[in-house]
Structure 1
Amino acid sequence: METNQYLINHYSSFNEDARLMSKHGSVEFLTTMRYIDKYIKPDDRVLEIGAGTGRYSHALARQGYAVDAVELVEHNIEMFRKNIQPDETITVTQGNALDLSDFSDNQYDITLLLGPLYHLYTKEDKRQALSEAIRVTKQGGVIFAAHVISDGCLLDEGFNRGNINVSEYIEKGLIDPETFASRSQPKDLFELVRKEDIDELMSVFPVSRLHYAASDGCSLFMREAVDAMDDETFELYLKYHFATCEREDLLGVTSHVIDIFQK
């Protein structure tokens, strides 16, 4: 398995914890945790694949759950270990989402795949990561898989912020000139998809979808407004987001989705 050096370089300098702790970034974290809380039960075992610096793993361990984590990037593992508190039942090992051979079948009640699919660029690799996540999950267990959505990113980073030159991306073949679907490469870091891509990806697996939800909705697009909200307004915004995050007519404009399914 070839390691994406662009990925290593990015996460060796990027502060993922800070992103998830900003008001606009916390929407993704709070939404994901809200769905995890819906399904996790006392004494459940949790595996987080691609755990980063451990934002989710530590949160769950501090609630009393036993958590095992796998992470590819050494820098993230170092930060993960620094954040471990004495009362956490938690492990972290270096590994790749494509090969979880150190973990036995049907071992975990809750499996989190909240980052690896952002950085896999072929259908074969994506299905391998999903297959491994499903394999290590118990029958009846729940898997949470996160994806980056192309239209939300194009609207925000392209047309809104200008961080992406849309015309240039079309000329380079990275955006389809008719459908505006994205075509990602490893050097682009993030694999951008649409719901139909996710549906096709999942069609081969004998699992049942429980939820398909916008994990941040419009929060990145309107990040300045969200960050400027006072606490009362932000709580109201969260209430709105939670009430609408599964509405099909809004799902296309989110930057991230969480696909939740049961084995």
Structure 2
Amino acid sequence: MPTWDERFAAGEYPQNPEPSAVLREYVSSFPDGRALDVATGTGRNAVFLAESGYEVDALDQSREGLKVTRENAAEAGVEKRIEPIQADADTYEFPADRYAVITISYYRVLDRFPDIKEALVDGGVLFVEHHLRSTDGPLSGPSTDRYRFASNELLHACLDMTVLYYDETTTPHEGKHSATARIVARNTTGGRQSYPAVERGD
């Protein structure tokens, strides 16, 4: 099986994928500060966050993926806003109280959620999207359920935060079905809070 370096170098993985529409809709409500994109790949979220005004740490274990991220950032004119970090998200020591925004797209890292949440400042926001287990098929993404979220698993993992948005959807994708969970959650607690007024595109 090819490594991620080999996949990125061969162009097997999308070289400049779009960030989620949900992230686009909510980003204007996120707090100011530094951002972290976990498992950045080719910079799906990192470049978008930099374009939105954030200084971004782009974390990935793949040297080739980070190379493409830097190229995409340069093309967008935001290369000075992105700090590449070559490290494995499974073992990386996330700094506490560091980030206003943390994004994770299509990387299952539930066992590191406590450390990732601690890396958020008070009021910081976590955005996650990832593949779901589904009876709809055939499915795009991981070949086995081991690397997919079960129904409501992502939601339950964030119930110690304020959930601002959550969905589980299935959409057609290149002749298959793409089953995806998405969440926007804020590092706050309490039964009485403020909530962003977000104009949804759907």
Identify the TM-score tier after normalising by the shorter chain: 0.7 to 0.9
The count of residues paired between Structure 1 and Structure 2 equals 183
Q: Of 127, 139, 148, which aligns to 2:122?
A: 139
Q: Tell me the TM-score normalized by structure 2.
A: 0.73
Determine the structure 2 residue equivalent to 1:93.
Answer: 85
Structure 2 unaligned regions, length at least 5: 188-202
Q: Deviations over 1:72-104 (max 9, x none)?
A: 112101111222335441111101222332x42
Letter in 1 for 2:30: I
Q: Secondary structure at the match of 1:193?
A: coil
C-alpha distance in 2, partners of 1:70/1:139?
A: 22
Bigger fraction of residues in strand: 2
Residue 67 of structure 1, aligned match among 56, 65, 68: 56
Match in the other structure for 2:150: 194
Percent sequence identity is 16
**Is the CA contact 1:97–1:116 (under 8 Å) kept in the aligned structure 2?**
no
Tell me by how many angstroms 1:219 deviates: 4.2
- Partner SS for 1:16: coil
CA distance in 2, matches of 1:79, 1:47: 17
> Which residue matches 2:133?
150
Indicate the residue corresponding to 2:173 in structure 1: 220
Aligned Cα RMSD in Å? Answer: 3.3
Instruction: Write out aligned runs for 1:106-117 (5 A).
Output: 106-117=97-108
Residue 63 of structure 1 and its aligned partner are, at CA, apart by 2.6
Quote the residue 2:23 is aligned against.
Answer: 32
Greater RCO structure (CA 8 Å; 6+ sep)? 1
Larger Rg over CA atoms: 1
User: Matched residue of 2:167: which SS?
Assistant: strand
- Larger helix share, 1 or 2: 1
